[in-house]
Chain A
Amino acid sequence: MSEVSSMSQNSNSRIHPKLFLLYLSFGSMVMLFSAFCSALIVRKGDVRQSWLDTPLPSPFLYSTIIIIISSITIHLAYKFIADKKKFKLYSLLTLFLALVFVYFQWMGWSELQSKNIFLSGNPSGSYIYVISWVHGLHYLGGIVVLTILILKFRKIQIEIGNKMSFNILMQYWHFIGMVWVFLYLFFKFIIYN
């Protein structure tokens, strides 16, 4: 991304404009997932249409735990960003945990299929696929940026600008992690209980 108006010398913001943009985009993402969740509540409550009980896949519990741990490791990576060794350790650990998260999500979808719950069946199952996929796409975006930053930081000295890009990634990571924790609790205790 090109310069975020560094040329405008009169920014009266206390936070970095890129970070501010990220916070604003959280609003859009919240609305996106809220729309899916409201649709799910409305559809489940519509007694005119059939609703089959669908068990929430058990691997989703593990992926939820993993995503929480990955938030801690990315936080540590940011904390030790000036210490190349520690940064490398925690950032690679975060990347590994992210891949484990994807693996457990995959296992979750496989478990649904093994129980004959397919994308095109009753909406009760379809919603799990679509919402977790949409979340997964957001998560993949984070993985791609994390990989790029890990590769980039191997070669260069960490500066304020770089630190900010990792800070932005970290905040996004926390946010998208919280979204999944919310979705899991929402699925578990409200929809598929």
Chain B
Amino acid sequence: MATIAHGDHGHHEESFLEKYIFSQDHKMIARQFLFTGIFWSIVGAAMSVLFRLQLGWPNETFPFLETLLGKWAEGGRISNEFYYSLVTMHGTILVFFVLTAGLSGTFANLLIPYQIGARDMASPFMNMLSYWFFLLAGLLMLFSLFLQTGAASGGWTMYPPLSGIRDAKVNAGSMWGTDLWFFSMSMFIVSSLLGGLNYIATILNLRTKGMTMWRLPLPVWALLFTAILGVLAFPPLLSAALLLEFDRIFDTSFYLSDIVVGGNLLDYKGGSPILYQHLFWFLGHPEVYIIILPAFGITSEVLSVNSRKPVFGYKAMVYAIGIIVLLGFLVWAHHMYMSGMNPFLGSIFTLFTLLIAVPSAVKVFNWLTTIWKGNLRLTPAMMFALGFVSLFISGGLTGLFLGNSAIDIPLHDTYFVVAHFHIVMGVAAFFAMFAGVYHWFPKMFGRYINDTLGYVHFYTTIISAYAIFIPMHFMLSLPRRYYVFSNYQTFNIFEDVSKFISVFAIISFMAQILFVVNIVYSALKGRKFTSENLNPWGSNTLEWTTPAEHIHGNWPGEIPEVYRWPYDYSTGHGNTDFRPQTEPLQEGEDAH
């Protein structure tokens, strides 16, 4: 990778900074996103372990916590203020920094140029900027964790009026913690826009000869729709954040009105807090598809390759994603059934929300049909892809309850909701991300990942995930934001199950540490991925036609031409059970 291997840019040695730090190469940027994402997942997951200690053993003390956290855990017990900071930052970090930037950033960068047959992104410079804005956003958020006044603690949705007032009397983190949260998110939005615009331009403009849209691998389709969602949905969040910062810093009243703090009536008049919720969820709901669509794409690819069967209903898969994107923009207020809404409007949002079940079911049906009677190869990547399907079904079904306004009202803000969204967009998206890392590890790091550790990782994670979240479905009378729920006699029945959940949260966290160890160990010491076997999974897509060593520009000579769709597996033609996209159609063979 040290030299530029093709004509246009001439040959020059890249310095260390150009190669590893300010790289404009999509493959390096993919790894930068991956490692930054991993860092944030460890931080975010560690936070969940901390608040699970509080929830599992609400009346116990853990002296090491005081050593670790100082005044935020005096006497070895997490303070209530810090507890709310932890849940706020856990949500923010996992939703935005890991499952948005970590997932999309890694796989869009890795797969788009590779799978469409391009030398790099449309604008490698913008691509680099996208990473650097992401890193900057992360650093700002990281700094906020060390503020004396505390990190943001108003919930990851940052609803006003709680988040709109800059007064330490309101809550810990309401000072610079919340400001930094908004500054960080603004940087993050810039990063997402730069990345998204680039991904769309690349996919639409830089496909190799023969790579028509209907020959695109499904991860690319998914990443295209994800980028479209991002560039249209993130700007309203920016406007929401800007107006809220004006309320906080310049005492405007966009969202605030008639607020009393410590007995004093504040000077805000005429604002509407519900307005923020509309603007927030106009991004917030598409955001869940920004998270899950790349997961759909990765899963489809891994399932097809490892079932040695074509993806069932390829076009239906693409149309389903398109319909999900369209409906995704029309359902935001289902997060606001409890905020006070005209019942007629509620029924419209219910209708659109439930309609999303149709394309989602099409996808599930197609995945199951793809693996049906396939020649399954249960690699760790395949296990995680199967795990994704399982989790998506389990978590998706509870969405049918919550999408219905009449049922959502009693279930709102209970552990049932926590279980639903963690399974369907949290753990499921993680599983697809894991599937992607295991599947494309040789392409990313030039070595194979250790399978044994991969299986341990898979079984521990899926058992822990279900052990954590299935019981939560039955805690549907327990409000989700209580710091010490055992203070209420009614909820004492949940003490044992809460301990059970916390134990599995810790086990699950340990399993992820094992995964990180596996990545680092395998990237350094794993079996080498060599040019003798460039296509270890027998895959049809273009990335496996590139050399084992990373070269700038991806292919040493001409970019290969594409003659067929990417899912010609077990067609009965030729000597192998796969037909790479670069292989011309044989006589008598029909194009898909």
Contacts and interface: CB of A to CB of B under 8 A. Distances in A.
B118 A10 contact: yes
B269 interface: yes
6 closest cross-chain pairs (CB), A and B: A35-B236, A32-B235, A13-B205, A2-B125, A35-B239, A31-B235
A39 B231 contact: no
B257 interface: yes
Given A12-B207, A123-B270, A5 B120 contact: yes
A8 interface: yes
Interface string A1-28: 1111111111111000110110011011
Contact of B278 (A4, A11, A42, A124): A42
A28 B193 contact: yes
B123 A1 contact: yes
Contacts of B243: 39, 130
Given A10-B118, A31-B232, A49-B257, A123 B252 contact: yes
B126 to A, nearest CB: 7
B122 A50 contact: no
Interface in A35-76: 35-36, 38-39, 42-43, 46, 48-52
A134 B271 CA distance: 20
Contacts of A35: 235-236, 238-240, 279, 282
A127 B126 CA distance: 32
Interface string B7-51: 011000000000000001000000000000000000000000000
B500 interface: no
A32 B278 contact: no
B551 to A, nearest CB: 12
Given A8-B120, A123-B253, A126-B246, 6 more contacts: A8-B206, A42-B272, A43-B254, A49-B257, A122-B253, A123-B252
Contacts of A36: 239
Contact of A46 (B239, B252, B272, B553): B272
Contacts of A43: 254, 272, 275
Interface in B195-246: 197-198, 200-202, 204-209, 231-236, 238-240, 242-243, 246
A2 B24 contact: yes
Interface string A84-125: 000000000000000000000000000000000001111110
Interface in A116-161: 119-124, 126-127, 130, 134
A29 interface: yes
B204 A13 contact: yes
A8 B235 CA distance: 30
Given A7-B8, A28-B232, A35-B235, A20 B126 contact: no
B117 interface: yes
Interface of A: 1-13, 17-18, 20-21, 24-25, 27-29, 31-32, 34-36, 38-39, 42-43, 46, 48-52, 119-124, 126-127, 130, 134
A31 B553 CA distance: 34
A72 B446 CA distance: 55
B239 A5 contact: no
B122 A21 contact: yes
A48 B208 CA distance: 57
A27 B206 contact: no
A122 B253 CA distance: 7
Given A7-B6, A134-B242, A120 B206 contact: no
B121 interface: yes
Given A126-B253, A130-B243, A51 B120 contact: no
Contact of B275 (A25, A42, A50): A42
B235 A4 contact: no
29 contacts: A1-B123, A2-B124, A5-B119, A5-B122, A7-B8, A7-B9, A8-B120, A10-B118, A12-B205, A17-B122, A17-B206, A20-B204, A21-B122, A21-B126, A21-B198, A25-B197, A27-B232, A31-B233, A32-B239, A35-B240, A39-B239, A43-B275, A50-B270, A119-B246, A119-B252, A122-B253, A122-B269, A126-B254, A134-B242
A145 B252 CA distance: 32
Contacts of A120: 250-253, 267
Contacts of A134: 239, 242
B323 interface: no
B559 interface: yes
A20 B205 contact: yes
Nearest to A120: B251
Nearest to A51: B270
